[in-house]
A and B are shown apart, each in its own frame.
Chain A
């Protein structure tokens, strides 16, 4: 591990040199653009994104990138934001289905509509070459049928977020390294009046981000690599289900079995829980609104199970809809955006909230500003897509969006025997995989 980090460090320093060179080159791209399209310039490019977890990120795009693009190309850039957690996907589906005038965007759940996305291999390859190379796991999302259908942007890191002061008081001075230790610590903390709050409801990220890594860590898998064989019903899965039931009973707040994504933020910030799995948003809100709590929050990697340590990715990728009236212009925009001159500062504008899938940023100095965020970057090392090890296709998406695996655990916590809970989930999987 240490050696590969070292190696990565050296490549990234070299990439920094490249970045500055590329930055200079980026300036000429604009001029090139003006030449190419003096005649048929599109009036505007519309770029759709989910409203960012960190407001500064959207502000940077609006206040810096939009005027700069206008200046570089003379084209108006429109930034449409929709609310996270449910609004983006219906909007994207309706764009694809009705060919609405949107050119590019954060293609959330791209497995639903890859057929409607433009091949952006040239951009992705170029950006990867230029900025240290891509983390391999993201390719199983963005590359489909040998072509890049989206350009990866960054991962919203999901880590264990915990109250160091309460852990210390309970005599736990380093964050538990294994799931067994995690349960032990939680039992102590719940007795001290500070339970965990591990989301298990019908949310979109905070549930998958610990339950799937836990399942994988215990050796369980939902569907095999071939994307056809259902492998959920196993002794490993049963052990994971038993573990979660015990964790829920001995270490968690009752409410968490029904939690959507905002619920654990609320519970954490109101001092009701001592640990949860979440993105950076809790620490960011605490630093802003509750400075005292902001000092005692820390992030840690997920504990490991008998089969190792895992994380689940919350990937952000950008794609171009193939109904865009001017594909070249849209591609130019995406290339311009991913140019280090633009994208590096955009990443940094919001605490590296989107950890880049590009190795050039592994040791970005921005990470040193708040060392507690470093685990959010290291998630990339052990991060898997929610479909893992199966391909990230529509069926895998259906499993996630019907909460088949999540509900298996939630049922066990609300009194269903392990066997029955697994059988229910297996039936649900059979319906999807046929």
Chain B
């Protein structure tokens, strides 16, 4: 940043807007946390402050662990998100690298079709997708979603990676080729390592989308013990019009904690990766 600002300007330019952002982004979480930590009687009490806890209680957390398969759902979610992210990254690289760095016939057409794949709504896809999954005898198994999530994620990853690959100067690759390296080698040893932040950003973003996905998980994961968090939680804690508010909120918070941890660890790569490509390229 240019120069150091005086404290009144810093107050107005940084702390006040930052505080406003925090309030806007996080007040629903304050409510969620408060709700997960008080008994239903207090939640329903019209005289109570929705943001305050008079009698803190862990009862919803205990019930969540005791009465549902929450731990299993978390494990499933992480596994599914991880595997489908890895598949998507692999396929995304294979798609993006030639499109970004090679000249060959039909390249333009392919780039457009990858973009079009993005515009296809899930509402159009899910019935034939269910048919496909059943024909492959994959219904009710985690592999069903591990295979279908990449259909949503590959175009996304490819698009992001195309932008990133373009930022690496062409001369680098050419120099490697002149020195006798094969294209494969130039790619794996020269270009890809330079793009590590790009992988991280695409990977983390894909991971988030995968762990949030609802429709395919609902259709393809049927036994309680193989469900992911969103489907497991809504299936067993939303009973008709009776919602288990406290447990739902406890699950929402506990379910996103692992991801927050990953984010705070990788956030600088994430930031660097998501857009560096588009700016320079």
Contact = CB atoms under 8 A, between A and B. Distances in A.
Nearest to A291: B41
A328 interface: no
A368 interface: no
A289 B39 contact: yes
Interface in B59-74: none
B241 A85 contact: yes
Contacts of B223: 78, 80
A130 interface: no
A281 B127 contact: no
Contact of A101 (B39, B46, B131, B140): B140
B174 interface: no
Interface stretch (B84-92, B110-118, B214-222): B214-222
A265 B243 CA distance: 9
Interface stretch (B145-153, B161-169, B200-208, B231-239): B231-239
Given A90-B126, A279-B240, A279-B241, A100 B235 contact: no
A378 to B, nearest CB: 21
Interface string B223-262: 1100000010011101111110000000000000000000
A95 B127 CA distance: 9
Contact of B239 (A55, A90, A99, A278): A55
A24 interface: no
A97 B131 contact: yes
A94 B44 contact: no
B196 interface: no
Interface string A231-252: 0000000000000000000000
Contacts of A289: 39-41, 44
A97 B238 contact: no
B158 interface: no
Contacts of A285: 40, 242
Contacts of B239: 51-55, 84, 281
A197 to B, nearest CB: 13
Contacts of A46: 222
A290 B126 contact: no
Contacts of A53: 239-242
A272 B46 contact: yes
B218 A269 contact: no
**Size bracket of the B interface:** 20 to 34
Given A94-B127, A98-B134, A100-B139, A265 B242 contact: yes
A288 B223 CA distance: 29
A349 to B, nearest CB: 14
A20 interface: no
A81 interface: yes
Contacts of B135: 98
Contact of B130 (A82, A100, A156, A264): A100
A184 interface: no
B40 A97 contact: no
B133 interface: yes
Given A91-B218, A269-B44, A85 B238 contact: yes
A94 B139 CA distance: 11
Contacts of A269: 44
Given A91-B218, A101-B139, A265-B242, A83 B235 contact: yes
A88 to B, nearest CB: 10
Contacts of B236: 51, 81, 83
A281 B44 contact: no
A420 interface: no
A420 B134 CA distance: 47
A270 interface: yes
B218 A82 contact: yes
B126 to A, nearest CB: 7
26 contacts: A48-B222, A50-B240, A52-B240, A53-B241, A53-B242, A54-B239, A54-B242, A85-B241, A87-B234, A87-B235, A90-B218, A91-B218, A91-B219, A93-B127, A98-B130, A99-B134, A101-B140, A156-B240, A206-B241, A264-B241, A265-B243, A289-B39, A289-B40, A289-B44, A290-B41, A290-B44
Given A48-B222, A261-B240, A278-B241, 17 more contacts: A50-B240, A78-B223, A80-B222, A81-B224, A82-B218, A83-B231, A85-B238, A87-B218, A87-B235, A90-B218, A90-B219, A98-B135, A99-B134, A262-B243, A265-B241, A279-B241, A289-B41
